[in-house]
Amino acid sequence: MNRLSRRREREAKALEQRLVWIVGGPRTGSTWLLDLLTYPLTHAHTPTGAAIRNVDTVLRPFAIPINEPYLGAHLAPIETIHPLGIFTPAEIKEGDPSYFFSREFEPAWRPGLRSMILDRFGAQATALAAEHQLSDPLVVVKEPNGSQAAPLIASALPGSRLIYLMRDARDVLESLVDAVTPGSWLAGGLDTDALATEHGRLEFLRRHAWLWLHRTTMIERAMASHPPELSFTVRYEDLRADTEASLATVVEWLGVEAAPGFLAETTRANSFESFPPEATGRGKATRFAEPGHWRQGLGEPEKAVLGDILGPKLRDLGYAV
């Protein structure tokens, strides 16, 4: 390896160690956690993907956001191959030597995948750091819709960090149903049409319950194989109950010395209570932030379906069933 190659590898390794993945699935509060960690930046449709939200603050961000790159959705696209299960090729084909990401040929594909990911995120991180005059900030990647690829990503980037944002699946699914219900913020398409009937709601919940279960299984697999010091689990319910204290444990784990006042200010600026009433509630992206709301939002047949599919895993995760 020549001097230039050694320098590039040092830079790549340094970036890898600054990468922090938020995994767990949609409607878990991952946007909220991203905003908490990258305050006063917020993800935005700008040329770099972020902007300063609070121009009056004296705080400086220690992390920059990359919001939903959908890398995992490309690496491990969802395939329905059984009436009662949702799987990805990454799970069912990894033992097939012809599968691109097979275990047999991992030494061949892993270095290239690592380089591609680091080159791509490095370009965005460099642009964001320059725009906001930051030196080597953490790079927080929110990837809920690609969390089924967590084992692939963790394998390719063993020096990066994984934050598993866990939330009661029943709240997740009740929120998802509300999001695609006619007239809601994500309404449109076949799912919205299906939700017009009781049978359609049940089938939607059944399908997404299996998807949640699959994502959770893959995340647990990634966490089990990743270095324990680089893996951290956060419960949404704990983050909601005492945001500042829960966030403090995450920041400490990240090895960051937050500026005085950071935890209090980001907690206040990103709190559910800071939203105007007309921006929250049923049919809105920011709904209730109320753990256990599924008890009100789901019918008895729907609760029974979710209990049958998710009960054992929910118990395993410490949720009352």
Alpha helices for the chain (secondary structure H): 3-18, 30-38, 71-75, 89-92, 106-131, 150-156, 169-180, 190-194, 198-225, 236-241, 243-254, 262-269, 294-297, 300-316
Burial class of 107 by CB neighbour count within 10 A (0 to 12, 13 to 18, 19+): exposed
Longest CA–CA separation in the chain, Å: 66
Six-digit token string for 16 = 């890898």
Domain ranges of the chain: 3-169+216-272
Residues 9 and 1: beta-carbon distance below 8 Å: yes
Model confidence pLDDT, tens digit, residues 24-78: 999 999 999 999 999 999 999 999 999 998 778 999 999 999 999 999 999 999 8
Burial class of 59 by CB neighbour count within 10 A (0 to 12, 13 to 18, 19+): middle
Q: What is 3-169+216-272's CATH number, 2.30.170, 3.30.1460, 3.80.10, 3.40.50?
A: 3.40.50
Query: Length of the chain in residues, anyone?
Result: 321
**C-alpha span between 66 and 258 (Å, rounded):** 20
Whole-model pTM: value is 0.94
pLDDT at 59: 93
pLDDT at 86: 66
